[in-house]
Amino acid sequence: MKVLFLTPQVPYPPQQGAALRNWGLISGLAARHDMAILSFLSPGQSLEPADPLQSAARIETVPLPARTLRDRLRSMLTTRQPDMALRLVSESYARRLADWLAREPFDVVHIGGIEMAPYLGIVNSAQPRPVTVFDDLNCEYLLQRRAFLTDLGTPARWAGAAYSFVQWRRLYRYEAQVCRHADRVLAVSDADAAALRDLVPGLDVTVVPNGVDTQAYVPGIFDTELQIPKDALVFTGTMDFRPNVDAVLWFAQKVLPLVRAQVPEVSFFVVGQRPHRRLDCLRRDPAVKLTGWVEDVHPYIAQAAVYVAPLRIGGGTRLKLLEAMAMGKPVVATRLGAEGYPVTDERELLLADTPADFAAAVVRLLRETERQAALGQAARAFVEEYYDWRIIVPRVDEVYRSITESPIAGETIKSPG
């Protein structure tokens, strides 16, 4: 079967959420299908001949379109489209996609995230028409609704709340349109699938969870010169992503002082590229380290005493949680941070939602090394059983085969406007 992936960034090396998922699926599906990728290429990024990506799939790239804050504000005032529908609009990408579909028939086009949904119309107009799979990496309207409700409680964040309110309402309409016009919709969790069915009653949604390569994320210290303190708490993620910024600020300002009162030597490592300027206030705290971009997050996770996932905003599921659990780390998370995974408090991780409860869970693990080890072992076993890509990829393969063999294959479907 010939499959074309539309991705918002080159999925290798996989260093953030969408790329991690897209690479996990592409690398697993490559053994079963003839894979191709049409992707945006970020400034300064290049494709290396030795990259595993080159052997897994044929790939063509288009430069990432430039979009300024002024452009975003203008579109917010002059259109009814959500920001995510405009973020990756590119005439060059549209032409390249149309040309590729004209010269080569594909059985399936896999749309990797809502940012790529504007190209659904081109795919649905192709002759012969491939079947389309929309992979909704986050239930985006739900994420913005949660961001609005979180920021509404803080007067200093009312501008952010206003933005999220507008985006929530626009995404509610747009995300429903995209789901209606794809042949099949994938969601990363039962919770996201239910939220999408609220948008489109009766929608056929297949849950394909996020996964992790358990052979790449293994317990133990990696061979590295990095040495971090014994009582280090670690968070990883792209640090200009709003839910991550909110999580780190909440933890550093509300939780960490409570932990430090009982464990004075504790430190907090925030590992991720592009730290937002809202995090600059944390640089004055000697217990907090903002690393910025690092070549490899493994050593930080491996040496963490406790991995923390204090998220209060979000949709989908957090790949960072799977990475830490696969490495046998004890995890403390909010219930939202662990949403979408069938974990049990006190078995695979500890769950806490208030500053006091979160701090108490962290302190408990810092003091109980045997409990750290037990949680880490249970977490690793949980991920191996349910969330290795080798278990998840066959579900996508089954989706491809079911829709290409159905009567809908080859029909022309109106695309979202």
φ/ψ (deg, to 5) at 201: -55, 135
2-211+389-404 shares its CATH topology with 232-386: yes
Indicate whether this model's pTM tops 0.75. Answer: yes
pLDDT at 16 over 80: no
pLDDT, greater one: 315 or 323 = 323
Write the CATH number of the domain with boundaries 2-211+389-404. 3.40.50.2000
pLDDT at 223: 67
Residue ranges per domain, the chain? Answer: 2-211+389-404, 232-386
pLDDT at position 100 is: 97
Burial status of residue 78 (CB atoms within 10 A of its CB: 0-12, 13-18, 19 or more): exposed
Over range 58-82, report the average pLDDT.
87
pLDDT for residue 44 is more than 90: no
Q: Residue 128: is the preceding peptide bond cis (ω within 30°)?
A: yes
Instruction: Assess whether pLDDT exceeds 70 at residue 408.
Output: no
pLDDT tens-digit readout, 232-269: 999 999 999 999 999 999 999 999 999 999 999 999 99
Q: Which residues of 236-247 are buried (b: 16+ CB within 10 A; e: fewer)?
A: bbbbebbbbbbb
The first and second tokens of residue 33, run together, are 């299908």
Least confident of 14-28, 88-102, 206-220, 227-241: 14-28
Min mean pLDDT across 131-135, 218-222, 372-376 is at 218-222
- Residue 117: is its pLDDT beyond 80? yes
What is 232-386's CATH topology?
Rossmann fold (3.40.50)
Q: Is 40 helix (H, G, I), strand (E, B) or coil?
A: strand
Residues 107, 109, 114, CA angle at the centre, nearest 5°?
A: 165
